[in-house]
Amino acid sequence: MVLNISLPDRHTFYAGRAQKSSSSSSSSSSTTFQSIDPSTAKPVCTIHTSSQSSIDSAISSAKSAFPSWSSTPPIERARILHKAVQILRSRNDELAKIETLDTGKPFSETSTVDIVTGADVLEYFANLVASGGLNGESFRLRDSAWVYTSKEPLGVCAGIGAWNYPIQIALWKSAPCLAAGNAMVYKPSEVTPLHAQFLAEVYKEAGLPDGVFNVVYGAGDVGSYLTKHPDIAKVSFTGQVSTGRKVAGSAAGEMKYVTMELGGKSPVVVLPDADVDQAVDGAMMANFFSTGQVCTNGTRVFVPDTLKAQFERVLLQKIKEVRAGDLMDMDTNFGPLVSDAHYKKVTQYIRHGTTVDRARLLCGGFDQRPTNLPSQLKNGYWVSPTVFTDCSDDMRIVKEEIFGPVMCILPYSSLEEAVARANDTELGLAAGVFGKDINQCHRVVKQLQAGITWVNTWGESPAEMAVGGWKQSGVGVENGRRGLEAWVRNKSTLVEMGGTVPTVFAKL
């Protein structure tokens, strides 16, 4: 069943409602772009790019709302956010259909992951601030003096989302931001923008004051204008490394706070004693979930020489369970790539791996599409899961982030070699180990240079777990207790109670 949802045009959302994205009274004067259903390549909604004047208005709305919201007691802010959690969960399937329409991810995934995990994060931070998570510390410095600290909100913050987990990432950013007492201007990716107004309306219905959460639309120029705006105190960005460097550089030049969650080329290390069936399951989750469009994907799979043949044999059997098709069928577990541009990028990498890198193609390929697709899906951005084996570290498909369903199997002869090769990258977002000896798993995972690591599993990022990259994969963390710290600034106060003011300017 192809989703047939009709959505009205989307405009900038500020001061509690959608408003024209252009300064002109005529909507036709604003630049527009289309939201495309990746499964069919058909447009589903027109988005009006936010003009600089409308971005200014959104920021002004947030700036006006900040004093009242930041002075609202944390427990009262938490009650509003909890109400938003209830609304999100009550509308899970409705919102999941929007995510499926916008991203091309199967409903079996969006209905069980995207809104669910986003709501979990919102609930977590609401609970955290309600239970003293914003409390500072107090200590006696000496008999006549003591010191106390407080965690103060930053002000108006910019959230710049990514296209692969639209509403989840929007909640990962807005939840701690709002819980800490900040206001936000949020820019979704221009590739998957549909969720943004729905989330803004959920917050409004929950009782969030007008102006505390606002939405602007557009591509990199909108993000750049937002980042450089003098009234923005912090920028939180999720996206590719090259763009993140530009955003971070621009924000740092203005002395703004930043959180950057960027890309990866993460290693999966299969230990010699691993259960091959389980290791293959983990490697498939690390490569084909969300059609490989996950920043933490473990696309470099290091397999011992002694297990390589068995690993490949089991993988070819299990890959038959990757099921593309009707995205609303709960048996479908694999969707198209997100856009035509991304489809061309991924298939170009696969072609390069075949014709230039000369890796051995185990299955898939740049000209392979899933079989038995319904006729109405034939024009979508579909590609088959692809596996290269006998790969070497110098291959382009091994070194560069592809962000698609492309697995590279790299044989190794010793664990020391595997660890060294796994770490030989400028990126350090995620890494994982599969093996039966849990002590050895811990020893190996300790040596892997990544901010997010897993043992005998892959991909789970609960709200309680802080996640963030090392090296070129990011700055700061999201989620967990440390995730709240990224949205506040410290104030320290020293109180002298001795009855006199210390001075060196006394009479002799």
Catalytic positions = 261
On the 0-12 / 13-18 / 19+ scale of CB atoms within 10 A, 19 is middle
Distance, CA of 456 to CA of 449 (rounded, Å): 17
Question: 3-state SS of 275-308?
Answer: CHHHHHHHHHHHHHHHHHCCCCCCCEEEEECCCH
Q: CA nearest 265: which of 448, 426, 455?
A: 426
Q: Residue 410 forms beta bridges with which residues?
A: 302
Q: Backbone phi, then psi, for 232, in 5-degree steps? A: -90, 125
Number of CB atoms found within 10 A of residue 322's CB: 18
User: Which residues, in sequence order, are CB contacts of 112 under 8 Å at separation 6+?
Assistant: none
The CA distance from 90 to 228, in Å, is: 37
Can you tell me the distance from the alpha carbon of 377 to that of 383, in angstroms, rounded to the nearest whole number? 12
CB atoms closer than 10 angstroms to residue 453: 15
Q: Which secondary-structure segment (H or E) carries 127? A: helix 115-130
